[in-house]
Amino acid sequence: SELWKYDGNTGIAFMVQDIKPGYIGSFPSNLTVLGNDLFFSASDGTNGEELWKYDGNTGTVSMVQDINPGSGWSNPRAFFVFGDDLFFVANDGTNGYELWKYDGITGTASMIHDINPGSGDSDPGGFKAFGNDFFFVADDGTNGYELWKYDGNTGTVSMVQDIYSGSGSSAPAGFTVLGNSLFFVATELTYGQELWKYDGNTGSVSLVQDIYSGAWSSSPSNLTVLGNNLFFSADYGPYGRELWKYSDGSATSVENATPNNELNTTVYPNPVSNQLTIEFANPGEMQTVTILSIDGKVVFKENFKDKSVINIDTDKWSKGIYTLTYKNNHTSRSVKLIKQ
């Protein structure tokens, strides 16, 4: 396996270079474009797997640097372009797998910082650009896998916050930018795996919402921005995984925050803190609202007529999952509520 090229002008494919002569191959991987050049990792059979470059101007291939000197393998991986530079993870044979940078101006590669001192691996990954910086996950050998930041102005790295205090790992993942905030999923001892946020204005990290109350995990996934909203999938208890939306500082279940066209009623907010509001589009009909706790106890039940809006005091309810059932003269429907 070697590096090949398809020429769009001639329609011909040909091998660029036999990097490792013979039939075994250099096995190029992690192909990444920076400027006019193509970077990749490959082994020439003498220097182990190292950082290589295809020069887009000259059409030649060369090893950028023998990071792990001699026959040792530095195994460059996780290539990430930021500004004029190429960042990647490599092992120089002394410091373990750490964060490295190829400087697009000087043409040299160097280790940014020995995050896990000595021969230990910090194993950085999950790189995400945000403003003038980029964020990633790394293990410094003391605090586990936590949120780290590369400062684009100073060229330094630092741990943003030890979310899972001590040696445990919060293992941030799913980095997604919305406005001035960087959202991600992380694990903490008290809340389990939930949605977190880095505020680009204050530089602070905070839990967005404990969707599955307590140490249980809602395990948000598939974070996706649409307009000014962040949509994601989350599990909020025995009712399983549903579509959720973050908007205006809070997260709500999309199913339970939208109007029920069949019954012409709207229930909000969900999750609820102190007061639940129910709006009826057909107040002339008799309406029955029943709310049960997760263990089946009735916490609220009332009949309504000629009311378009009712407010229910939930301040003294215990945190957890509830079921609201709404009935009129024709049909009924249940929705899930979360008291936070």
pLDDT digits (tens, 9 = 90+) for 199-232: 999 999 999 999 887 778 889 999 999 999 999 9
Query: Which phi-psi region, left, alpha or beta, contains residue 10 (left: φ > 0; alpha: ψ -120 to 50)?
Result: alpha
Q: Which amino acid is present at 248?
A: D
In angstroms, the CA 42 to CA 16 distance is 13
Residue 261 pLDDT: 42
Domain ranges of the chain: 1-122, 124-258, 263-339
HSE-CB of 33 using CA atoms within 13 angstroms: 3
pLDDT digits (tens, 9 = 90+) for 72-125: 999 999 999 999 999 999 999 999 999 999 999 999 999 999 999 999 999 999
- Collapsing DSSP states into helix, strand and coil, what is residue 254? helix
Looking at domain 263-339, its CATH architecture is Sandwich (2.60)
25 CB-near residues (< 8 Å, 6+ apart): 1, 2
pLDDT at residue 266 is higher than 90: no
* CATH number of the domain located at residue range(s) 124-258 in this protein: 2.120.10.60
In angstroms, the CA 181 to CA 215 distance is 25
pLDDT digits (tens, 9 = 90+) for 295-324: 888 999 988 877 888 899 999 999 888 888
Q: Which of 167, 121, 173 is nearest to 147 (CA)?
A: 173
Q: Using an 8 Å Cβ cutoff, are 185 and 195 in contact? A: yes
The angle subtended at Cα 111 by Cα 29 and Cα 40, nearest 5°, is 15
In angstroms, the CA 304 to CA 121 distance is 64
Residue 257 phi/psi, 5-degree rounding, is -100, -5
In angstroms, the CA 195 to CA 210 distance is 8
Residue 239 pLDDT: 55
